[in-house]
């Protein structure tokens, strides 16, 4: 390939950052040596920091200093490609590059508004309704009405409902709503939405009974799964084949991941992709689906970046990084992994792997704000 691809990964300590690194370091199709990887992270103690060629210690994405610090890093590094490790990073990076047209580095995304459709769950709902796409019925106080209108929403959709932050991630701050008392509590939370619960209602009865009597150390809600449908919108508008997985969870962690075939989900995902593309969307797209109580498929969330399943999908046949590089860096011919057909029916199990970090590396990183291999 000649010259190395200079890649910045923001929030490299995230699960997304780990997935990107795992794809490039996969021993059966290793491409790590084709890259010079520069990470950024707000946390020092994370093994992904030290898998990069260099890593910068930066403020949290939500801080006032983040944009200035990241702008300086991009200017210093002159990357070929920039990938975000968190949803919040994606929008901020777009804003940085838009304000500074002289900065080098390609973002594999489309227009800002399409990124916000994916990041902001209220806007995901509004976008879906505008294009007549099936999405979990959603209510936001102040946008949909007040408590009187919310009572009607509860009556129409029944309990349980789901309460979640408008701009949340990794299921943090997501709650079951079992009755009006839960509504009165959650309605005081800032920037929250209420959403119909997708799935079998009865499966939760025993779990809710346990929650009412004792406070568990960890939550083990039953029937937690979704179908994750991932595709890629090329800059020319072409939509690539959809990869559909069944993701089974325990305590918020994906434990089982396998590829499935479903024509209905395939067609729905393409409809989402074409609607986003019509408004300037491009790059990776994932839509999560579950069936409602009537058996109808509905989306519950979507995102437009590499995500926490990038590596499992890669092992089973979808090479997201090759799609990104070959589409957004057309001067580079990047090798794509073609998975053996017998691997595509395997089930991916996610495990924790212990990683040792040098104390001297940690001290150096904290003192100098940059670590270099």
- Dist. CA 177–CA 196, nearest whole Å: 10
Based on the fold, state whether residues 34 and 87 are members of the same structural domain. Answer: yes
The CATH code of the domain that includes 143 is 3.30.1490.20
Based on the fold, state whether residues 144 and 103 are members of the same structural domain. Answer: no
Average pLDDT for residues 263-276, to the nearest whole number? Answer: 98
Based on the fold, state whether residues 100 and 176 are members of the same structural domain. Answer: no
Based on the fold, state whether residues 28 and 81 are members of the same structural domain. Answer: yes
Q: Answer yes or no: is pLDDT of 161 > 80.
A: yes
Res. 171 pLDDT band, cuts 50 70 90: low
Res. 219 pLDDT band, cuts 50 70 90: low
Q: For 44-48, 119-123, 165-169, which range has the lowest pLDDT when averaged over its residues?
A: 165-169
Average pLDDT for residues 166-180, to the nearest whole number? Answer: 81
Q: How confident is the model at residue 239, as a pLDDT?
A: 97
Average pLDDT for residues 161-183, to the nearest whole number? Answer: 85
Based on the fold, state whether residues 149 and 64 are members of the same structural domain. Answer: no
In a domain, residue 153? The reply is yes
Res. 168 pLDDT band, cuts 50 70 90: confident
- Dist. CA 182–CA 208, nearest whole Å: 13
Based on the fold, state whether residues 35 and 93 are members of the same structural domain. Answer: yes
> Dihedrals φ, ψ of 283, to 5°?
95, -165
Which of 152, 176, 197 is the last residue before a domain boundary? 197
Q: Answer yes or no: is pLDDT of 57 > 70.
A: yes
Based on the fold, state whether residues 147 and 190 are members of the same structural domain. Answer: yes
Q: pLDDT digit string (tens) for 75-95?
A: 999 999 999 999 889 999 999
In a domain, residue 367? The reply is yes
SS3 (DSSP) at 164: strand
> Dihedrals φ, ψ of 244, to 5°?
-110, 125
In a domain, residue 120? The reply is no
pTM: 0.90
Q: pLDDT digit string (tens) for 302-349?
A: 999 999 899 999 999 899 999 999 999 989 889 999 887 766 666 776
336 cis-preceded (ω within 30 degrees of 0): no
In a domain, residue 360? The reply is yes
Query: Residue 5's CB: how many other CB atoms inside 10 A?
Result: 18
In a domain, residue 132? The reply is no
Q: How confident is the model at residue 212, as a pLDDT?
A: 74
Based on the fold, state whether residues 95 and 152 are members of the same structural domain. Answer: no
Based on the fold, state whether residues 72 and 10 are members of the same structural domain. Answer: yes
The CATH code of the domain that includes 103 is 3.40.50.20
- Dist. CA 311–CA 19, nearest whole Å: 5
Q: How many domains does the chain have?
A: 2
- Dist. CA 97–CA 74, nearest whole Å: 9
Domain range for 164 is: 137-197
In a domain, residue 158? The reply is yes
Residue 225: strand pairing partners: 248
Based on the fold, state whether residues 12 and 94 are members of the same structural domain. Answer: yes
In a domain, residue 55? The reply is yes
Q: pLDDT digit string (tens) for 193-204?
A: 999 999 876 777
Q: How confident is the model at residue 3, as a pLDDT?
A: 85
């Amino acid at each position: 390939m000649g010259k190395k691809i200079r890649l910045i990964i923001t929030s490299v300590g995230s699960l997304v950052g780990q997935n990107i690194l795992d794809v490039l370091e996969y021993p059966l199709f290793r491409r790590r040596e084709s890259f010079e990887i520069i990470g950024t992270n707000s946390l020092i103690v994370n093994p992904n920091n030290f898998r990069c060629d260099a890593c910068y210690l930066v403020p949290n994405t939500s801080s006032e200093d983040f944009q200035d610090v990241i702008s300086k890093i991009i200017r210093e590094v002159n990357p070929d490609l920039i990938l975000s490790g968190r949803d919040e990073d994606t929008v901020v990076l777009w804003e940085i590059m838009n304000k500074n047209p002289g900065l080098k580095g390609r973002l594999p995304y489309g227009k800002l508004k399409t990124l916000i459709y994916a990041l902001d769950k209220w806007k995901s709902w509004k976008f879906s309704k505008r294009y007549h796409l099936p999405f979990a019925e959603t209510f936001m106080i102040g946008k949909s009405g007040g408590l009187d209108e919310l009572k009607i929403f509860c009556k129409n959709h029944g309990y349980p409902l789901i309460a979640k932050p408008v701009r949340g991630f990794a299921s943090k701050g997501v709650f079951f709503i079992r009755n009006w008392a839960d509504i009165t509590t959650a309605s005081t939370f800032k920037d929250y939405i209420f959403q119909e619960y997708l799935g079998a209602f009865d499966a939760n009865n025993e779990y809710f009974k346990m929650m009412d009597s004792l406070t568990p150390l960890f939550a083990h809600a039953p029937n937690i799964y979704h179908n994750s449908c991932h595709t890629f919108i090329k800059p020319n508008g072409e939509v690539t084949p959809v990869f559909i997985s069944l993701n089974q969870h325990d305590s918020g962690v994906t434990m089982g991941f396998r590829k499935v075939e479903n024509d209905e989900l395939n067609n729905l995902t393409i409809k989402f992709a074409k609607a986003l593309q019509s408004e300037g969307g491009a790059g990776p797209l994932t839509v999560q689906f579950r069936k409602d109580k009537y058996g109808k498929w509905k989306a519950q969330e979507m995102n437009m970046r590499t995500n926490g399943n990038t590596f499992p999908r890669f092992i089973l046949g979808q090479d997201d990084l090759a799609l990104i590089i070959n589409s957004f860096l057309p001067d580079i011919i990047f090798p794509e992994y073609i998975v053996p057909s017998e691997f595509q029916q395997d089930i991916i199990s996610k495990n924790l792997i212990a990683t040792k970090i040098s104390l001297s590396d940690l001290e150096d990183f904290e003192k100098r704000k940059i670590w270099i291999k």
